Amino acid sequence: MKKLFTLLLTLLFLVGCGSGGGNSTPTADPNGGGNETAAKVVTIQAPTPLISMDSAIATDGTSFSALTMCTAGLMSLDADGNAVEDMAESVEMTSDGLTYTFHIRDAKWSNGDPVTAYDFEYAWNRVLDPDTASDYAWILETANIESFEATDEKTFVVKLLAPSGFFLGLTAFPTFFPLNQKFVEEKGDQFSLSINDLLYNGPYKMTSWTPGYSFEFELNEDYWDAANFAAKYAPKVVFREITDTQTALMEYEQGNLDTVALSGEQVTANEGVEGFINKLTGYMYYLTINMGNNVHNRAGAADLANANIRQAILYALNREEIARVLNDGSVAAGGIVPVGLASNPETGKDFRDDNGIVTAYDPDKAAEFYKKGVEELGHEVVIELLYGTDEGDSIIKAAEQVQSFLEDAGFTVNLNGKPKKERLDLAGNANDHDYDVMLTRWGPDYGDPQTYMDLFVSTNTSNNDGGYKSEKYDGLVFDAERGEGMNDPAKRWADFLEAEKTLVVEDAAIVPVFQAGGAMIINPNISGIEFHSASVDSYRHIVVK
């Protein structure tokens, strides 16, 4: 009998110890030992995991932020989102605004190689190379880049098809970061997969990376501005991947984390806490309405071709109320272009202020439009609302709120929750846009309304899932980007303002719902985290008091 017991227990312990615990050294005191340095180490909560450190492959916010920590592009963004020189010592722009010449400063990769203009040329070509299969290859086209070339080690020349107000800022975007060709080719498939398979030319170096757990950065003494950084900024920044908001908050309150993201449920109790902020992200959540695709199979989509029915949806939503229930810093969407994305080239007024709130809540109007629509159709309208179930609690709540408001207006709404990948698959070409109304989102890639306006032109088959087709809208967007607007920023701006009104108010093809917020608490002892709603959040300039 004893033998059996021993056997069982040894078996269990063997499994336990042989596998992970064995190499632990519990004698080292992880709490007490590092008090001195711990004061200067900043620990950031990463609510979503780090997916890739390859600048051509990365597509998510966490990866972009990590890349920005340890890689320097031609330009970088300052706290206000203005482009400032980084690897470029100086930039010249021709008077027509079409040619940019970047002069690369003397800088080194972490293996000692100099950073040259060829590194940029190689990296940009690599993004475009079909073999790389970069998700962001299109961004070079969006940026109106005609050609780019390293004329010598120190000079990088970029030619644009049309003048672009946002091009310089875009060079701070990780997809445009330089790569050391020799190193990348030497590493082959292994490139970027661990700290030893990466080169750094940014202010920090990645010193540790355990996927799913944490990644750490320490100041890079070879950075061109290293002296300045060493004097001002945190010597070590640790990112800890924590998904669960409740344990993350406890960890913060115990002083083991310096930032923590809050869920809507946690905001009420923490609003007064020192360091609490409501940052606004650039993510715009909107309803895309299927009004032209797959209408033969979907009764709901067929009904939505009716303009009155769509107007009913536009007026039915009480966006203020939805944002209040989400309670995570989100705000009601005033239009498809989010607050803080872009400002008028002449007056400097925010796009949102210039165009005003184009979405209004008017339950009476909604009911009226619905009634009119039903009269025209001859039957009540039943629609299915497609939304993502793995994209955060706010989305599920928002979907339920939208359902409630639409039902108040007279609709019958069935919710159809799917994981994000499948939601996009259903709404995409692969399934011939098999949906009625979908709650989806778009995050801006650069600080210009174009990043939203391009989505809904009739030629954009990848994003215009609802099959919206309006000559007026197409014309306005074309005029802004390829027509008169090319050389007249004011006209371009006016076209975009008009285009948004056409899209949202006149045609109600897209119904904006809310602009996502990010309630969080930041340790009052640290400052300098820069949130850029239209670009990458930067943790480069963290100051520890």
Partner 1 sequence: MKKYILKRVLVSIATLLVIILVLFLLMDLMPGTPFNDEKLTEAQLALLYEKYGLDKPLIIRFFIYLKNMLTGDLGVSYAINKNFAISDMIKGRLGISLTVGAMAMVFGTILGLILGILAALNHNTWIDNLCSVLSVIGVSVPSYVCALLLCYFIAYKLKLMPILYNQQMPIKSLILPALALSVSPTANIARFTRSEMIDVLNSDYIQLVESKGVKNWKIIIKHALRNTLIPIITVMGPLLVNLLTGSSVIERIFGIPGIGLLMISGIQQNDYNVTIACSFIYSLMYIVTMLIVDILYGIVDPRIRVAKG
Partner 2 sequence: MSLISDHEFHHDDFAFAHSKDEKLIDKNFKSTSYLKDVWGNFKKNKGALVGAVIIMIIILFALIGPSMNEHTYKSIAHGHECLTPRIPVVEKLGFFNGTYKGRDVYAEKGASDVYYWFGTDTQGRDIFTRVWSGTRVSLVIAFAAVLVDIFIGMVYGMVSGFIGGRVDMILQRIAEILNGIPTLVVVTLLGIVLKPGISSIIFALVLTGWIGMERIARAQVLKVKEQEYILASTTLGAGKARLIFKEVLPNIFGQVIITSMFSIPSAIFLEAYLSFLGLGVPAPLASLGSLVSDGYKSMTTFPHILIIPVVVLGILMLCFNLFADGLRDAFDPKMLNK
Contact footprint for partner 2 (CB under 8 A): 245-246, 249-250, 263-266, 268-269, 318, 321, 325, 327, 389-390, 393, 396-397, 399-401, 403-404, 415-419, 422
In the window 140-159, what residues touch partner 1 (CB under 8 A)? Answer: none
Q: What 3-state DSSP class applies to 243?
A: coil
Q: Which listed option, partner 2, partner 1, none, makes contact with residue 310 (CB within 5 to 8 Å by class)?
A: none
Which of 428, 475, 489, 528 binds partner 1 (CB under 8 A)? It is 428
Q: Is 351 exposed, middle or buried (0-12, 13-18, 19+ CB in 10 A)?
A: buried
Give the one entry of partner 1, partner 2, none that residue 243 binds, where binding means its C-beta sits below a cut-off of 5 to 8 angstroms depending on kind: partner 1
Q: What is the DSSP letter of 538?
A: B
Is residue 26 part of the contact set for partner 1 (CB under 8 A)?
Answer: yes
136 binds partner 1, rule: CB under 8 A: yes
Restricted to residues 242-261, the positions that interact with partner 1 (CB under 8 A) are 242-244, 246-248, 250-251, 253-254, 256
Q: How far apart are CA 443 and CA 31, in angstroms?
A: 40
**In angstroms, rounded to a whole number, what is the distance separating the alpha carbons of residues 179 and 29?**
40
Query: Rounded distance, CA 306 to CA 450, Å?
Result: 28
The answer to the question of residue 420 lying near partner 1 (CB under 8 A) is yes
Residue range at the interface with partner 1 (CB under 8 A); choices 166-174, 235-243, 368-376, 402-410: 235-243
Rule CB under 8 A: say whether 82 interacts with partner 1: no
- Residue 95 interacts with partner 1 (CB under 8 A): yes or no: no
- Please state, in angstroms and rounded to a whole number, the distance separating the CA atoms of residues 512 and 331: 11
By CB under 8 A, which span of 126-134, 145-153, 222-230, 370-378 interacts with partner 1?
126-134
228 binds partner 1 (CB under 8 A): no
Work out which of 93, 98, 128, 193 binds partner 1, going by CB under 8 A: 193
Binding residues for partner 1, how many (CB under 8 A)?
A: 72
Burial of 196 (0-12, 13-18, 19+ CB in 10 A): exposed
Residue 289's nearest CA partner among 273, 270, 274, 309 is: 309
**Residue 52 interacts with partner 1 (CB under 8 A)?**
yes
The DSSP-derived string for 301-335 is HHHHTSHHHHHHHHHH--HHHHHHHH-SS-EE-SS
Closer of 374 and 398 to partner 2 (Cβ): 398
Joined tokens for residue 438: 């979908």
Residue 254, binding choice from partner 2, partner 1, none, Cβ under 5 to 8 Å by partner class: partner 1
Q: Which is nearer to partner 1, 111 or 459 (CB)?
A: 459
Per DSSP, the three-state class of 166 is coil
Of the candidate spans 24-32, 104-112, 399-407, 507-515, the one that interacts with partner 1 by CB under 8 A turns out to be 24-32
User: In 68-177, where do the E strands start and end?
Assistant: 75-77, 83-85, 88-93, 99-104, 145-152, 155-160
CA distance 202 to 110: 9
Among 110, 192, 394, 401, the residue binding partner 1 under the rule CB under 8 A is 192
